[in-house]
Amino acid sequence: MAARACITGGAGFLGSHLCDRLLAEGFEVVCIDNLLTGTPQNVSHLLDHPRFTFVRGDVTKPLWVEGPVDYVLHFGSPASPKDYVRYPIHTLKVGALGTHHTLGLAKAKGAGYLLASSSEVYGDPQISPQPETYWGHVNPVGVRSVYDEAKRFGEALATAYYHTHGLAVRIARIFNTYGPRMRADDGRAVPTFIGQALAGEPLTVYGTGLQTRSLCYVTDTVDGLFRLLVSPDAADDSPASFPVNLGSVDEITMRDLAELIIRITRSRSRISYEPLPPDDPKVRRPDISRAARLLGWAPRVSLADGLAMTIDYFRQGLAAGAR
Ligand code: UDP
């Protein structure tokens, strides 16, 4: 019988790509989403799939799923700074209550559990690259705290379920990921710059543009997530007891990213420098040696190729959300 996975946030950017991957691996998929920031369009191609079910539901409320469940993946949350600043309380609730409810479901079903955590647990890091052993540098009352602290709480709760109930917990610290199905209006650098470049408008680089991110193409991130989900426990070095960074190690400044997107799109747009939002991390680059060692994983898609595929998606007018 096919393994059965329940994924929250399954109609989101990452979640919908994970649904695709799980179905391709022969899983049965129950996709749960309240469509706050996700969009039905992301899973519309799956609605007739015999192993796919869509449930509109809000996991800040207790949830129950009939029948066997082998894996629970908690990916529901507003995830872009613009989205979580717009929905601060819901972001905290889905990271805290939603994690509690989905852990409870996994415990009741004896299922494996994968938590979508984030590089945001490192805050504005004081060391670079960031290994999983770094505790982070987070402003607990800053604008990003609703997301950062929710993810940190989620990690603590998942770890407590591992220690207390022996739940097979996996924690992925996901770094910046981009690709098709990002919303045009989610406010992140990649979709914003692409939209602006294609429209011939100025690219809004915040601050000096010298802040860096490491951008991973979505299929690479999803490959790491899938490997982590099905990874076995190792006695002394268990993925269950440690978070695993997943992301690209190719660090780029936001100014260089804007220039690259202008070049690839052959746009006539220029760059306009806008104020830097508060608490914007200055650097971000994962140490991915743990993922390499435990999962045999490394990203494969170059930034140029990944951006070309993403630009193609935006050019075709497929992205949801008005800019
Ligand atoms: N950024 C920018 N212009 C934009 C959107 C974002 O310069 O229109 C910057 C932002 O200040 C940050 C970086 O790009 O330094 C990445 O932002 P994003 O929202 O993509 O992700 P995150 O900050 O969560 O890594």
pLDDT in tens, 16-63: 999 999 999 999 999 999 999 999 999 999 999 999 999 999 999 999
Rounded to the nearest integer, the mean pLDDT of the chain is 95
Dihedral of alpha carbons 226, 229, 233, 234, sign: positive
Q: Is the pLDDT of residue 201 over 60?
A: yes
What pLDDT band is residue 320 in, cutting at 50, 70 and 90?
Answer: confident
How wide is the angle at C-alpha 149 spanned by C-alphas 35 and 55, nearest 5°?
Answer: 20
Residue 235 in this model has a pLDDT that exceeds 80:
no
- Span from the CA of 323 to the centroid of ligand 1 (angstroms): 15
Q: In this prediction, what percent of the chain has a pLDDT beyond 70?
A: 97
> What per-residue confidence (pLDDT) applies to 239?
58
- Report yes or no: 11 and 38 within 8 Å, Cβ to Cβ: yes
Mean pLDDT value across residues 214-243: 84
Task: Write down the residue that tokens 């929710």 correspond to.
Answer: 150
* Higher local confidence (pLDDT), 240 or 255: 255
**Does 131 sit behind a cis peptide bond, omega within 30 degrees of 0 on the bond before it?**
no
> Nearest residue CA, atom 18 of ligand 1?
188
Cα(280) to centroid of ligand 1, in Å?
Answer: 8
Distance 82 CA to ligand 1 centre (A): 10
pLDDT, average across residues 269-274: 98
SS3 (DSSP) at 318? coil
Task: State the Cα–Cα distance between residues 254 and 235, nearest whole angstrom.
Answer: 41
Residue found by looking up tokens 């140029």 in the block: 304
Give the mean pLDDT of 3-9. 98
What is the predicted pLDDT for the residue at 233?
72
Of 25, 19, 8, nearest in space to 44 by CA: 19
How many angstroms separate the CA atoms of 88 and 131, rounded? 28
- Return the pLDDT at 93: 98
Give pTM, 2 decimals.
Answer: 0.97
Is 204 strand, coil or helix?
strand
Indicate which residue's Cα is closest to atom 3 of ligand 1: 205
Which residue of the set 147, 162, 178, 217 is catalytic? Answer: 147
